[in-house]
Amino acid sequence: MLKQRLLRWSLPLLAMSALPAAIAQTVAIDPATTYQVIRGFGGHNGAGWIADLTPAQVDTAFGTGPGQIGLTVMRMRIDPSSTAWATQLPTAKLAKAKGVTLFATPWTPPAYMKTSNAIAHGSLIPSYYPDYATHLLGFADYMRTNGAQLYGISVQNEPDWDPDYEGCTWTSAQFIDFIKSQGPRFAGLKLMAPESLGMRKVLSDPILNDAGAAAQLSIVAGHLYGTTPSDYPLARAKSKEVWMTEHYTDSTSDANDWAKAMPVAIEVHRSMAANYSAYVWWYIRRFYGLITEDGNVSKRGWIMSQYAKFVRPGYVRIGATQNPYPDVYVTAYKGGDGKVVVVAVNNGTAQRRVDLTFGSGAPRTLQRYVTSAATNESYAGDYPVIAGGASADLEPSSVSTFVSQPAGADLTGSVKIVQGGLTANRFTGQFSGTVSFTNTTGATLTASTLRLVLEGLTAGVTLDNRQGDVNGVPTIALPVNQLAPGATVTVTTTFGNPSKGAIAYTPKLQGITF
Distance CA 270, CA 219 (A): 19
Amino acid in position 35: Y
Describe the chain by its helix, strand, coil percentages, rounded to 5: 20, 35, 45
Mention every residue, 6+ apart, whose C-beta is less than 8 A from residue 496: 96, 99, 149, 429, 430, 461, 462, 464
Active site residue 158: yes
Packing angle between helix 129-145 and helix 172-182, nearest 10 degrees? Answer: 60
Amino acid in position 397: S
| 3-state SS assignment for residue 512 | strand
Torsion (CA) 145, 146, 151, 154 in degrees, nearest 10: -90
Return the H-helix or E-strand segment holding 176. helix 172-182
Active site residue 455: no
DSSP calls for 299-354? HHHHHHHHHHTTS-TT-EEEEE-S-SBTTEEEEEEE-TTS-EEEEEEE-SSS-EEE
Mention every residue, 6+ apart, whose C-beta is less than 8 A from residue 35: 275, 316, 317, 318, 319
Choosing from 166, 195, 246, 267, the catalytic residue is 246
Can you give the length of the chain in residues?
A: 514
Q: Are 39 and 273 in contact (CB under 8 A)?
A: no
Packing angle between helix 201-209 and helix 172-182, nearest 10 degrees? Answer: 40
Choosing from 158, 241, 377, 395, the catalytic residue is 158
SS3 track for 181-234: HHHHHHCCCEEEEEEECCCCHHHHHHHHHCHHHHHHCCEEEEECCCCCCCCCHH
Q: Which of 33, 124, 121, 136 is nearest to 79 (CA)?
A: 136
Question: How do 40-44 and 328-334 pair as beta strands?
Answer: unpaired
| 3-state SS assignment for residue 413 | helix
DSSP calls for 44-93? E--BTTBPPPPHHHHHHHH--STT-----EEEEEE-SSGGGGGGGHHHHH
DSSP 490: E
Q: What residues are labeled active site?
A: 158, 246
